[in-house]
A = this chain, B = another copy of it.
Amino acid sequence: MQPSASEPVGTGDLGVIIERATGKVAIINSSHMTILGEVAGLGDLSHASVVFSRDERYAFVFGRDGALSKVNILTRKLEARIMQAGNSIGGAMSQDGRYVAAQNYTPGGVKVFDARTLELVADIPAEYAPGKLSRVVGLVDAPNVGQGQRFVFSLFDADEVWIADVPGAGQPPRIQKITQVGHQPYDALISPEGRHYIAGLFGEDGLALIDLWSPQPKARKILSGYGRGQEPLPVYKMPHLRGWAVAGRHAYLPAIGRHEVLVVDTDTWQEIARIPVLGQPVFVMARPDGRQVWVNFAVPDYSRVQVIDTASRQVIRTLEPGKAVLHMEFSPRADQVWISSRDANLVSVIDPSSFDTLQTLSIDAPSGIFLTHRAGRIGF
C-alpha cells in the first residue's frame, strides 16, 4: 500500500535519477521501487551530480552549465535555480548542512551558498598567481576542526590542494594551501571516515595522499604504478576517482587503461593485489557491507557489470543489465543496487545477495543515481 499524497511520508527511502538527455530528474522510492514523478527544467545535466539537504527534503543538482538547482523531492518542485558559474562539475554539502558549495571551471574557484536561500556566503576564487584562476576539481566536505565548515578541493592548473574553513556569512574563509601536490590533480575523493584526501594526477603516474588529521597536512605520492602515464594503452574513459571502494581496510580502484582492479592497503597505501576484470573499469563500488565490489566498464564493454567477492578476490558474477551502464548506487543496508543503463533507457534494481532483478524502470537516458542516505555520509 502506498501512502496517499496528503499523508506525510518519510524521506529515508527516496532518491533522484538524472535524465541527462532531457534536463530532468526522476524522483524514486526505493522501498516500492517506483518512480514518483519528474522535475524538469534543470538544464545541461551531461555531467550532473547531486547532494542532499541535512533533512533529506531537498536535492541540490549541479549542472555542467554552471547552474545550481534546488529540487524539493517531496513536492517534486524546482524551488530555486541560480546560474552560479559558467562551467561547473559538482559540489558538496557542509558537515552541518547549512552550506552547499560548488566547484567551478569557469571562472575557476569555489562558491559557498546558504542551503536554505541559495544566497552567496563565501566566494573563493582559485587565484594561484596574479590574475590567474585555476579550474577546481575534487571538492569534498571534511569534518570540522572547530574553525567553521570545512571543504577540501584541488586546483588542476596550480598543482595545489586547498583546505577552506568557512565560518559563515560576514566572515572570510580561512584557506590552507598545500602546494606541489603533483602535476594536474584531475579529481579526488575523501576516505569514508573523512581522514584521507586522495587526488588523482593527470600529469604524472600516481596519486597525491593528504592526511587531514595531520597538524601540518602535506601531500605524499602513492601508487606510482597506478597506470596513468606508465603504459601506452589507450584510455577510453578516465575513471572517476569517486568510483573507489573501501571495504574493510582495503581500497579497490580502477587501474587506468588496464583490465584490472587494484587492491590497496589503506594502512600502508601500497598496492597488494590486482584482480583481472573484463574491460577498463570506470566505477568500482563496494557493497555497503564490504562483501562485494561491483565494477562497470568503458566502451566497448560498457553494457556489462562484474561482481568481485572481496574475501576470495575473484569475479563471481557477470551481469548484463542493459546497454551503456553509467552508474550504480547501493541502498545503505545493501539490500538493493540500482543500475542505470543509458542506451537501454532502463534502471534495474538488483538484489546483490541473490542477483535477482527485483524491478526494472523505464527512464529516459538515465545516468547518476543518488539515494537520500548520502545526506548522512561524509564526502557525499
Which residues of A line the B interface, CB within 8 A? 1, 8-14, 30-31, 52-58, 72, 74-75, 95-97, 116, 141, 143-146, 193-195, 213, 247-249, 267, 288-291, 311, 331-335, 351, 353-355, 372-373, 375-378
Known interface pairs A8-B74, A194-B289, A375-B12. Does A145 touch B353 (Cβ–Cβ under 8 Å)? yes
Not counting A8-B75, A12-B54, A288-B378, a sample of 11 additional A-B residue pairs whose C-beta atoms are within 8 angstroms of each other reads A8-B8, A9-B55, A10-B58, A12-B55, A12-B56, A14-B55, A95-B334, A143-B333, A143-B353, A193-B248, A331-B376
The chain B residue with its CB closest to the CB of A249 is B249
Report the Cα distance A11→B8, complex, angstroms: 10
Contact A56 B95 (CB under 8 A): no
Report the Cα distance A75→B193, complex, angstroms: 34
Known interface pairs A193-B289, A291-B143. Does A376 touch B373 (Cβ–Cβ under 8 Å)? yes
Contact B74 A54 (CB under 8 A): no
Report the Cα distance A141→B52, complex, angstroms: 27
Known interface pairs A1-B116, A353-B146, A354-B146. Does A10 touch B56 (Cβ–Cβ under 8 Å)? yes
- Which residues of B sit under 8 angstroms from A193, Cβ to Cβ? 247-248, 288-290
Contact B31 A289 (CB under 8 A): no
Report the Cα distance A193→B213, complex, angstroms: 23
**Of B57, B248, B289, B311, which is within 8 A of A9 by CB?**
B57
A-B residue pairs in contact (CB < 8 Å), sample of 5: A10-B58, A13-B56, A30-B54, A146-B354, A332-B375
